[in-house]
A and B are shown apart, each in its own frame.
Chain A
Amino acid sequence: MSKRIGMEIAFAAAEAVALCRPDVIAAYPITPNTHIPEHLSDIVAEGRLDAEFICVESEHSALSACAGASGTGARVFTATSSQGLLYMQEVMPIVSAMRLPIVMAIGNRAISGPINIWNDHSDIMVQRDMGWVSLFSANGQETVDMVVQAFKIAEHRDVMLPVNVNLDGFQLTHVVEPIWMPDQQEIDRFLPPYEPYASLHPDHPLSMGTLGLPEIYNEVMMARNTALMNSKKVILDIWKEWETLFGRRYEPIESYKSEGAEVLLLTMGSMGETAEVAIDELRREGIAAGLLKLKLWRPFPFEELREAVAGTKVVAVADRACSIGGPGGPLFAEVRSALYGEPERPIVVNFMIGLGGRDVMVEDFKKMIKKAARAKHVRAECAYEIYGVRGS
């Protein structure tokens, strides 16, 4: 039976990881994800989890150790943030190419410079094309649920890819929330022990991570892309199963008061919850505004996005990262590209907000939505603004 508890979300994420019975955890400290591995090491030290906890000397080694351990057929977990994730970068595409089902929690944080420990999504956006499944959580409950789901998605024979679960640094990692924590029996029923497709053992020697010449590289890339695109079906099935077991529904894009909306705000991560309040107030003011919350970043839910925005006039995309010198925020670019082929498409505008932990209030969302409602079709590079810049 699930139990309702009040707990810091990072701790709750660690408890959820422990319920999944990982064999190896390798992590290196960096704010703000640190409480996750800290609490996991507590759980191991208390004897509640039988796992090897490797205190590696860097994030590069954290993911590398995960690769080695996953190669042996162990269930592995790591967590990081910001510069740590960037330091892992070299290994990020390799583990997805090697089809190693590693699960990683990312306490999202701005990347330097200037050095800044607070939340935005610039760390994970750098990893956009690394071939991982990428989930975005909006609150503590979703974090706990997604961490467990992530292992099942990653290890599914039709997926066999690493999965990252994104939770906003501080806004989520350091916040105490009421959470329904599943119990061990429930998780054991949901998540069977990991049966690796291939593993490193002398009884069946094999080579992992071999050299791919130009004659094979294209085909490998095709296979990787196909695997990631096909993972959506598995993710949807697993989310359906989760809903049956736990009664909590997950969708690639969650809609809030979007029916009949003329302006839709699209968010990722925790700010969706603040935006809900803004939508409520705007609706009371008689403005037909609605909200979309993206939970599945990779594979990108093109179909669900098109369905979600059908009939609306304007989509205001809230990005928590910049694509400097590019067409706007990374989410914005994706949305525009997803809608480009549609005969009837809404105007898409972009606000880059909450960068480096800058607070985004209900009033800010209301202002953005009202401004978006007046928007006209413009070129991509004219359709974005970094919201709330002082002195502008």
Chain B
Amino acid sequence: MSTAKKQPMGFIENFDLYAPKLVEKEEFFTSGHRACQGCGEALAIRLMCKALGKDTVIANATGCMEVISSVYPTTAWRLPWIHVAFPNAAAVGSGVEAGLKALQRKGRIPDRRVKTVAIGGDGGTVDIGFQALSGAMERGHDLLYVCFDNEAYMNTGIQRSGATPFGASTTTAPAGEASFGNKTGKKNVAEIMVAHNVPYVATACHSYPLDFMNKVKKARKVKGPSYIHCLSVCPTGWRVPSEACIKMGRLAVETGVFPLYEVENGKYRLTIETPEKLRPVNDYLKLQGRFRHLSPDQIQMFQDRVNLEYSKLMNKVKHSRSWLDM
């Protein structure tokens, strides 16, 4: 998957090789924040901000990112940023969007488009913030919501969330003599957002930075709601070495555990092609302490789930049509 292996021939053939040079140099999420080493979420936020550019307001849910970036009197944010509480980033974002809209209409702020972006972790999005997210998306605000999903409540100490994968051991769904850890599958919020008729929905991962940034740019252009679900590797919570962050994201995609796709007006498209035959999930699981306890049978159950979910997705990729063509 590494782009470095390609022979530098034409610009178009090797676009991925040149594209990073086109990425905005300006930092809107600055160094000096207090994230752990190898934090995928902090990297993802930095990339997201570059893709969003200056004319952006961020509404942040309580969680790792708010804690590590805003210890008073310091801030890592060079974008206007507001944090209110845990469950309400989407609602606060709704208010920001409405406020900017009204003030612009009344000529009290400059007449140019400023994009409102609400962000939260998986807990703040798929669990406690789910109602606010659903409401904001359903109301059609000009709002991008980005969920940085590290698959558990990492800020409070690795407790299980609705986005925790099957079989992961967390501090509230621990593996033990009588348990193999989390017994349920991951809640698929991207699908739920599609069901809200959100015109642009995508999954992403910081390990595919250009893909992620392109999706952020696309979502930014939507004059209405859009949603990106960004898998964000948490070395601390996943129990992997910090230098494994990028690799884990790549493996999640290559094994089909977390396929990268986008849904534009109902039309599904894989944005990162996976190999004809997916890598076995164990390539991904065996490197992580949170799955260490799984037996071969349980790993097979994990594999079966991934196969099913992947087939469901591919079915949509093959057969879905854009609403605009209906």
- Contact A69 B95, CB 8 Å, known A51-B102, A57-B132: yes
Q: Are A207 and B114 in contact (CB under 8 A)?
A: no
Q: Interface stretch among A58-66, A109-117, A357-365?
A: A58-66
Q: Are B80 and A65 in contact (CB under 8 A)?
A: no
Does A1 touch B at the CB level, under 8 Å? no
Closest CB-CB distance, A310 to chain B, in whole Å?
44
Does A205 touch B at the CB level, under 8 Å? yes
Q: Are B132 and A60 in contact (CB under 8 A)?
A: yes
Q: Are A74 and B82 in contact (CB under 8 A)?
A: no
Q: Are B95 and A200 in contact (CB under 8 A)?
A: no
Does A305 touch B at the CB level, under 8 Å? no
Does A67 touch B at the CB level, under 8 Å? yes
Chain A residues closer than 8 Å to B80, beta-carbon distance: 200-202, 204-207
What is the total of A-B residue contacts with beta carbons within 8 Å?
A: 176
Chain B residues closer than 8 Å to A56, beta-carbon distance: 91, 94, 135, 139
Does A385 touch B at the CB level, under 8 Å? no
Residue of A whose beta carbon sits closest to that of B95: A68
Q: Interface stretch among A133-141, A209-217, A249-257?
A: A209-217
Does B83 touch A at the CB level, under 8 Å? yes
Bound CA–CA A69/B97 (angstroms): 7
Q: Interface stretch among B35-43, B103-111, B194-202?
A: B103-111
Of the residues B57, B85, B138, contact of A201 by C-beta under 8 Å: B57
Does A91 touch B at the CB level, under 8 Å? yes
Number of chain A interface residues as a range = 35 or more
Bound CA–CA A298/B221 (angstroms): 46
Q: Are A73 and B72 in contact (CB under 8 A)?
A: no
Chain A residues closer than 8 Å to B57, beta-carbon distance: 72, 200-202
Number of chain B interface residues as a range = 35 or more
Closest CB-CB distance, A283 to chain B, in whole Å?
51
Chain A residues closer than 8 Å to B79, beta-carbon distance: 202, 205
Bound CA–CA A18/B183 (angstroms): 53
Q: Are B92 and A74 in contact (CB under 8 A)?
A: no
Q: Are A65 and B92 in contact (CB under 8 A)?
A: yes
Bound CA–CA A204/B78 (angstroms): 9
Does A81 touch B at the CB level, under 8 Å? no
Q: Interface stretch among B16-24, B63-71, B288-296?
A: B63-71
- The 10 closest A-B CB pairs, nearest first, are A68-B95, A57-B135, A72-B99, A65-B95, A61-B91, A69-B99, A64-B91, A64-B88, A74-B99, A69-B95
A residues apposed to B, CB below 8 Å = 23-24, 26, 50-52, 54-58, 60-62, 64-74, 76, 90-91, 94-95, 98, 193, 200-213, 216
B residues apposed to A, CB below 8 Å = 54-57, 59, 66-67, 70-73, 75, 77-85, 87-88, 90-103, 105-106, 108-110, 114, 131-132, 134-136, 138-139
